[in-house]
Structure 1
Amino acid sequence: MRTKRIKAVKFGLLSPKEVRKMSSSKIITADTYGEDGFPIEMGLVNQRLGVIDPGLKCKTCGGKMGECPGHFGHIELAAPVIHIGYAKLIFRMLSATCRKCGKVLLGEKERKRVLDEIELQRERQADVDVVVKQVFKEAAKTSVCPFCGEPKMVVKLEKPCTYIEIDEEERKRRLMPTDVRERLEKIPDDDLPLFGIDARSARPEWAVLKVLPVPPVTARPTITLESGQRSEDDLTHKLVDIIRINQRFAQNRDAGAPQLIIEDLWELLQYHVSTYYNNEIAGLPPARHRSGRPLKTMEQRLKGKEGRFRGSLSGKRVNFSARTVISPDPDIEIDEVGVPEAIARELTITVTVTDRNLEAMKETVKRGNKHPGANYVRRADGKKVKVTESNYESLADELGVGWRVERHLQDGDIVLFNRQPSLHRVSIMAHRVRVMPGKTFRLSPVVCVAGDTPVLLDGGEAKIEDLKRLWEGGERGGGEGEEGGEGEGGEEGEGG
C-alpha cells in the first residue's frame, strides 16, 4: 500500500455550494420520529443522515448501525445570519474596506509592502497575524477610499453581532446580514491576502450563513429512556428551534407581515443559530433545556477539560489502569509502589500457560477472586470465561497448556506509575509492585521531594534530610495524620 506524507493542514470556510454538495438530505421538518416509530423523511434524524437504530439501513451508503459513519444534511435559511465565530473579523473587514468598491483602504505602496511582509512571514513559517492586525489598524484610520474617492463611514459592532453604520451627520443605520453579505462580496480576491485569507479556501461572505450544515445523527444520537421515551441530543434540540423559527420567518415574509415582526423573527433566527454554535456568548442568555439546564452546543463540545480535544483525544480513560491518592511510606524501597489490594484484584496480567507454569497457574485459578487469584481464563479456542466462586475449581482442573490466565497483580510485577500533571518523562516511571492493605498508592518519601523540602513534623517544620537522619538513628518522628483526598487534601497518582 502506498503511503502519503501529510504536507500541511489547511483550514477554510465552507461555501453554500459546498455545503449543499456534501449534504445527503435537505432538512425541512423539525419532527424526528413518526407515529410508527421510524425516522421521518427529510426530518432531523432521517435515514439519509445515517442510522443509530438496530435493524435499519442507511439510505445513503446502505450500511447498518456501526457500519455507517453518518452523513451531513443541510437547512436552507430563509434569511442570511452572521456566524457568531466570525462576528469580530467581519467587523474588522467592514471597517477596513470601501463600502462602494470593496477594496482595502490602503495605498498601492503600502499594499505592496504589506504583501511582501506577509510572504516573508509565510516563508519563515511565522504567524502572519501581527502584519494582518497592522493592516486592519491602518486601513480603519483612512477617511476616503484611495481608489474610488468614496468617503468612509464609521462602523460599530454592538455585541454579539449587530453592525451599526454612522454617517457624517451622526445618523445611525443598522446593517442587516444581507447588507453585510453584499459588502463582503465586493471585496476582490486580490485583496484577501492582506487579511491573511487564502481566496482558494475562503471568501469573507461565507461567514454570513445562507445554508446551515446539519451534522450526522451518529454525532447527536437519540437515547431511549427506561420509560421507553426517546430523548434527543442537545444539538438536535437546537436544530429543531432553528427549523421552527426559519419556517415562521418564511411564512410571515411571504404573507407580507410588518417589517417590525420580520426583524424580530430575523433576530430570533440569529439567536438560535448563534447559540447552536456557542451557548456561552457574553451578553446573550443561554438556550436552555426544559429542565432549565443550559444546552451543550458545538463550542462546548470541543473546548475545555471535558471537551473533544483535551477530554477525548489528548487524555482518555484506558484499560489496565487505576487511580487513587498517593501517600508516603518510608518502609518501601525507592523503586517500589505500594498498591492497594482492591486495585491489585482489578488489574490483571495475562499469562500463557506452559508445561513449566501449569501447576502454579492452577493454584492461582483455584484461589478464585481471593488475592492473588485470577479474574478470567481464555481457553485454547479463544473463548473467554469469567472466574467465579461457582466455577473456579472446575476451571482449574480443566486448565491446560495454551490457555491464558488473567491473573491479579502480584508483588514484584513491574508497572508504570505516574503522578499528574505528567509534564516530563520523569513523571511516568516503572516501579515494582508491593500489594498492601489500605486504599492509597504508597511511595517512598525519598523520591517524592528534594532533601531540603520543608515538611510538617509534630506541628513544627522539619526538612526531609533531618527526617532521614531521625529514621537512620532509630527515632522515627511523626504524629497522627490525615489521609489526603481528592482536591486540596492530597495528591493523586495513576498506575497501570
Structure 2
Amino acid sequence: MLDVNNFEYMKIGLASPEKIRSWSRGEVKKPETINYRTLKPEKEGLFCERIFGPQKDWECHCGKYKRVRYKGVVCDRCGVEVTRAKVRRERMGHIELAAPVSHIWYFKGIPSRMGLALDMSPRSLEEVIYFASYVVTDPGETPLEKKQLLSEKEYRSYREKYGYGFQAGMGAEAVKKLLQDIDVEKELEFLKEELRTAQGQRRNRAIKRLEVIEAFRNSGNNPEWMVMEVLPVIPPELRPMVQLDGGRFATSDLNDLYRRVINRNNRLKRLLDLGAPDIIVQNEKRMLQEAVDALIDNGRRGRPVTVLVTVH
C-alpha cells in the first residue's frame, strides 16, 4: 500500500488543460450547491454526487441502490457510483471556461513570470489582460511592432488604414497567443547572446528572463499554460457546507467564489451564442477574469471579494 508520508521529493509545476481534465470526474455547469427542500446536492452543481461521489456510504442519489453489495455499480437512473462517501474528499471536477483566463500568480507575482517570459512590463500586461489596451500579436507587413500596445482609438485608426493586415487582441486570449509564439530554445540562445554585450539594468533584466525561460525548458512546462482554459474544482469536502441549528447553513467562502465564476462563465457563453456586441463581450470576459482572480488569490488585485458565510 502507498505510504503518503514516505516520499523523496515533491515537484510542483503548471498543469496543462488536458491534465486538469484528466483529474476531473465531470464538468460543473451550474452554480447551485444543494436543494434547500430536499437537502440533496443539485445535479451538475458544486456538490453534484454524479461528479464527486455519494453523500452517504454505499447509497446512490435516488436511493435505488443501497448497501455494500452494490459496490462499484453506477446507478442507471441518477448516474451516481455506489461507493464510500469519503471519495468526496478526493474527487475533483472542472469548469470549461468560455474564454481563456490568466493565472494571477504568474502575472501579478513578484517578479512577474509572465512579464519576464514575454519581455513586457507588468503594467502593460495588466492593461491587456483587463481589456484597457490592445496588444499587437502579429504585425504582418505593417510598421507596427509585435507586443506594441494600442489604445481603442489607435486600434480603430490602424484597422481603417491597414485593414486586416495585422492582428491585435485584448485579454488573456491575446496573451496566450503571444505565449504560444515563444520558442524556448531560440529565446535562450538570444538571451545568452545578449548577456555577452548587455550592461547595467538591461543585463539584470536579461538574467531574470534567462532564469524564467530556462526553468520552462528544464521543467517541461509550457509557457502558454500560465493562461487557463479549464479551471479545476476542488473536492466538496474541502469546501464544506454545514447545517446549523435553526436550519441555517454555514459554507466555505470558496463556494461563493466558485459560484461567481460559474455565473459569469455561463453568462459569457450565452452572450457569445447570441452574437452580442464586442464591448459587452469584452466587459463580461473582464468580469470572468476578476472572478477567477478572486478565487485563486482573493485580494491580490485590489479589494478582496467579501462573501456571506451563512445562507438560509
For 1:390-405, what aligned pairs fall within 5 Å after superposition?
A: none
- Asked if 2 retains the 8 angstrom alpha-carbon contact of 1:71 and 1:216, the reply is yes
Indicate whether 1:235 and 2:254 are aligned. Answer: yes
Structure 1 residue 281: Cα displacement = 1.6
- The aligned counterpart of 2:306 is 288
1:93 aligns with 2:111: no
Matched to 1:72, the amino acid is M
Q: Which residue of 1 aligns with 2:288?
A: 269
- The TM-score, its normalising length taken from structure 2, stands at 0.64
Structure 1: distance between partners of 2:149 and 2:92: 46
Partner of 1:211: 230
Contact 2:25 2:92 in 1 (8 A): yes
SS at match of 1:74: strand
Residue by residue over 1:94-145, the C-alpha shift from the partner in whole angstroms, topping out at 9 and shown as x without a partner, is: 117xxxxxxxxxxxxxxxxxxxxxxxxxxxxxxxxxxxxxxxxxxx9xxxxx
Deviation at 1:161, TM superposition (A): 4.8
Give the Cα–Cα distance (whole angstroms) in 1 for the partners of residues 42 and 186 of structure 2: 46
Residue 244 of structure 2 is aligned to residue 225 of structure 1 = yes
SS in 1 for 2:224: helix
Q: Distance in 2 between matches of 1:186 and 1:18?
A: 21
Within-5 A mapping of 1:277-356: 277-282=296-301, 284-290=302-308
Distance 1:291 1:32, change over 3 A: closer
- Is 1:156 matched with 2:124? yes
* Partners of 2:149 and 2:274 in 1: CA distance: 35
- CA distance in 2 between counterparts of 1:8 and 1:198 reads 20
Q: What is the DSSP-based 3-state SS (H/G/I as helix, E as strand, rest coil) of the residue aligned with 2:266?
A: helix
Distance, in Å, in 2 between the alignment partners of 1:227 and 1:43 is 25
Gaps of 5+ in 2: 62-73, 75-79, 137-143, 156-168, 189-209
Query: Counterpart in 2 of 1:188?
Result: 183
Q: Supply the distance in 2 between the matched residues of 1:197 and 1:41 (Cα, whole angstroms).
A: 39
**Matches of 2:129 and 2:2 in 1, distance apart?**
48
Displacement after TM superposition at 1:206 (Å): 0.9
8 Å contact from structure 2 (residues 26, 93) kept in 1: yes
Q: Which residue of 2 aligns with 1:49?
A: 52
Specify the alignment match of 2:90 in structure 1.
Answer: 70
Whether the 8 Å contact between 1:84 and 1:161 is mirrored in structure 2 is no
Pair 68,45 (structure 1): closer, same or farther in 2 beyond 3 Å? closer
Query: 2: distance between equivalents of 1:202 and 1:30?
Result: 32
Aligned residues: 235
3-state SS in 1 of match to 2:119: helix
Identity %: 26
* Distance in 1 separating the partners of 2:88 and 2:117: 41
Partner Cα separation in structure 2 for residue 170 and residue 245 of structure 1:
27
Q: 1:197 to 1:64 in 2, by over 3 A?
A: same
Separation in 2, partners of 1:276, 1:93 = 24
Query: Residue 240 of structure 1: CA displacement?
Result: 0.8
Contact 1:80 1:208 in 2 (8 A): yes
Q: 1:55 to 1:233 in 2, by over 3 A?
A: farther
Which residue identity is paired with 1:260? I
TM-score (norm 1): 0.42
Take 1:170 and 1:57, find their aligned partners in 2: how far apart are those partners? Answer: 55
Q: Residues 22 and 192 of structure 1: is their aligned pair in 2 closer, same or farther, counting only changes over 3 Å?
A: farther
User: What does residue 23 of structure 1 align with?
Assistant: 24
SS in 2 for 1:76: strand
The alpha-carbon distance between structure 1 residues 159 and 53, as it changes in their structure 2 partners (threshold 3 A), is: farther
- Summarize deviations over 1:388-430 as a string: whole Å, max 9, x none: xxxxxxxxxxxxxxxxxxxxxxxxxxxxxxxxxxxxxxxxxxx
Q: Distance in 2 between matches of 1:13 and 1:41?
A: 30
Partner of 1:40: 42
Contact 1:192/1:199 (8 A) holds in 2: no
Cα distance in 2 between the residues matched to 1:272 and 1:278:
10
SS of 1:197's equivalent in the other structure is: helix
Over the aligned positions, Cα root-mean-square deviation in angstroms equals 3.5
More helix by share: 2
**CA distance in 1: counterparts of 2:97 and 2:40, whole angstroms:** 26
* In structure 2, C-alpha distance between the alignment counterparts of 1:5 and 1:289, rounded to whole Å: 39
- Per-residue deviation at 1:70? 2.7
- Structure of greater relative contact order (alpha carbons < 8 Å, 6+ residues apart): 2
Alpha-carbon distance change, 265 to 61 in structure 1, aligned in 2, over 3 angstroms: same
Q: Secondary structure at the match of 1:8?
A: coil
| Corresponding residue number in structure 1 for 2:100 | 80
* One-letter identity of the residue aligned with 1:27: V
**1:95/1:155 contact within 8 Å kept:** no
1:287 is matched by which residue type in structure 2?
A: V
- Per-residue CA deviations over 1:216-261 (Å, capped at 9, x if unaligned) read 0111111102112333321111111111110111111111111111
CA positional deviation for 1:62? 4.0
SS in 2 for 1:75: strand
Displacement after TM superposition at 1:178 (Å): 1.1
Q: For the Cα contact (< 8 Å) 1:52–1:221, is it kept in 2? A: no
**Which residue pairs with 1:439 in the alignment?**
none
Of 187-196 and 163-172, more deviation after overlay is shown by 163-172
Residue type of the alignment partner of 1:38: K
> Which residue number corresponds to residue 174 of structure 2?
179
Gaps of 5+ in 1: 97-139, 141-153, 293-496
Contact 1:50 1:69 in 2 (8 A): no
Deviation at 1:71, TM superposition (A): 0.4
- Equivalence for 2:165: none
Give 1 or 2 for the bigger CA radius of gyration: 1
Counterpart CA distance in 1 for 2:271 and 2:2 is 57
Deviations 1:262-285 (A, max 9, x none): 111111000100000111224x22
